[in-house]
Chain A
Amino acid sequence: MCLSVPGRILDITEEDGFKMGKVDFSGVIKRICLQYVPDIQVGEYALVHVGFAIARVDEKEAAKTLQLLRELDEMQDEPDGESSS
């Protein structure tokens, strides 16, 4: 029900008093209401739910999360628990 999908903003227009935009979901393009993300720019990603963008996807945070998980990976390549020094 709360299914929401990230898509890339292709353009931003004004329509009937609303900020609207074309959003690309990996090739599927839909018109989405951008009224709740007024600062979003073309090229950025928004999280979209039932025709409304409800958040801007923070690319730096996205990269940071993956980086932290990769570092976890590196830490695990070392001996676990007791040190082998």
Chain B
Amino acid sequence: MKFVDEYRDEKLAQNIINKISRMLTRNWVIMEVCGGQTHAIVKYGLDQIFPKQMELVHGPGCPVCVTPLEMIDKALAIAEREEVIFCSFGDMMRVPGSRADLLQVKARGGDVRIVYSPMDALKLARENPDKKVVFFAVGFETTAPANAMAVWKAKEDGIQNFSMLVSHVLVPPAMTAILDSPGNRVQGFLAAGHVCTVMGTWEYEPIAVAYKVPIVPSGFEPLDILEGIMMLVRQLEAGKAEVENQYTRIVTREGNALAQEKISAVFEVCDRQWRGIGEIPQSGLRLKEEFKAFDAAMVFETRAIQTEEPSLCISGEILQGLKKPGDCPAFGVQCTPENPLGATMVSSEGTCAAFYQYGRHQNQELTGAK
């Protein structure tokens, strides 16, 4: 595939690794923000090929993982209703709520459907006027333009049997929450490339300045990630803290203005709970007042559903880069992708699930601090 395959060149990768190794004069801790990057890093073993001064820690970057248990329980309650067709991206289907997941609701007769796009859910609403079609709107800034467009179009076309259960989260507030945490070890960030496609890189400039951390938005192929790490190490070694774009074939400083406009037209910023972390102020999106008729949480009255997060697992510390999967005695034993105990195991992009999928639970060297 063009713009993908050429960024997997093994020889070029080895050369970047050598270059990084020669640049290192002291210890650095770098966090990749996005779950897609975590997945690629673990898949290609990129975290295991550097000298021990270079430590990669894995960030909170998977909206599936950080969707609160309470929101999943609300989704399940709505999906169980007879008049509802509940639509979701495939990766939310197996995420466990307190008592079941969406696939189990489907198995018991609920009309739960996997869709490729929120526009598919809108199409289902047009085709099934006697049903209420609900779309589970989970995602980072990358997914917000699509979800915003679906709600905007529903309003414009007067489609009244369509609504969204919105659990959108924003990346920059999560990064500052990590930097503000008392045990923070992160000294540089690989920022999430596709989030920046939409929002641009300008949002990160104040963070780089205020916290004196270099931030490099990068792509998702091995060469992208390695080049991003090289840019970070070069800045760290030179005492710089700037936003530097690795993903120039896709990302611009301004981002996609039309997409940002549509997001602001439909959504507004709100406080949001993150599974495993807790509430982060101003870290989510909710529908604006004029789109409230499309808010499934209002349409179906779900306020009574309140769920406490169990404190069984250490995913909160993993999401903040304070611990790694091997530090958890339950990892790969009681906690597996089939039976996840918490946020980082529930989606394939979660750190624990990525470590499990690529066999790290069978490895002696699982762990923690180098």
Contact = CB atoms under 8 A, between A and B. Distances in A.
Contacts of B1: 5-6, 25-26
A76 interface: yes
Contacts of B18: 76
Interface string A4-41: 11101000000000000000011000000101111000
Nearest to A45: B3
A1 B36 CA distance: 7
B114 interface: no
Nearest to B39: A3
Nearest to B62: A1
Contact of A1 (B3, B35, B256): B35
Q: How large is the interface on B (under 10, 10 to 19, 20 to 34, 35 or more residues)?
A: 35 or more
A1 B349 contact: yes
Q: Interface of chain A, helix or strand or loop or mixed?
A: mixed
B19 interface: yes
A74 B111 CA distance: 58
Nearest to B138: A1
Contact of B258 (A3, A4, A35): A35
A50 B249 contact: no
Contact of B34 (A2, A47, A59, A80): A2
Contacts of A73: 11-12, 15
Nearest to B348: A1
Nearest to A27: B1
A45 B2 contact: yes
Interface string B195-220: 10110000000000000000000000
Q: How large is the interface on A (under 10, 10 to 19, 20 to 34, 35 or more residues)?
A: 35 or more
Interface in B32-64: 34-36, 61-64
Q: Interface of chain B, helix or strand or loop or mixed?
A: helix
Contacts of A76: 15, 18-19
A12 to B, nearest CB: 16
Interface in B158-207: 192, 194-195, 197-198
Contacts of B28: none
Interface string A52-67: 1011011101101110
Contacts of B258: 35-36, 38
B140 A62 contact: no
Interface of A: 1-6, 8, 25-26, 33, 35-38, 45, 47, 49-52, 54-55, 57-59, 61-62, 64-66, 69-70, 72-73, 76, 80-81
29 contacts: A1-B36, A1-B139, A1-B142, A1-B143, A2-B34, A2-B142, A4-B197, A6-B2, A25-B1, A26-B2, A36-B259, A47-B194, A50-B118, A50-B146, A51-B120, A51-B146, A52-B149, A54-B145, A54-B194, A54-B259, A55-B250, A55-B251, A55-B256, A57-B3, A58-B250, A59-B249, A66-B6, A76-B19, A81-B22
Interface of B: 1-4, 6-7, 11-12, 15-16, 18-19, 22, 34-36, 61-64, 89, 91, 116-120, 138-140, 142-143, 145-146, 149, 192, 194-195, 197-198, 223, 227, 246, 248-251, 256, 258-259, 262, 347, 349
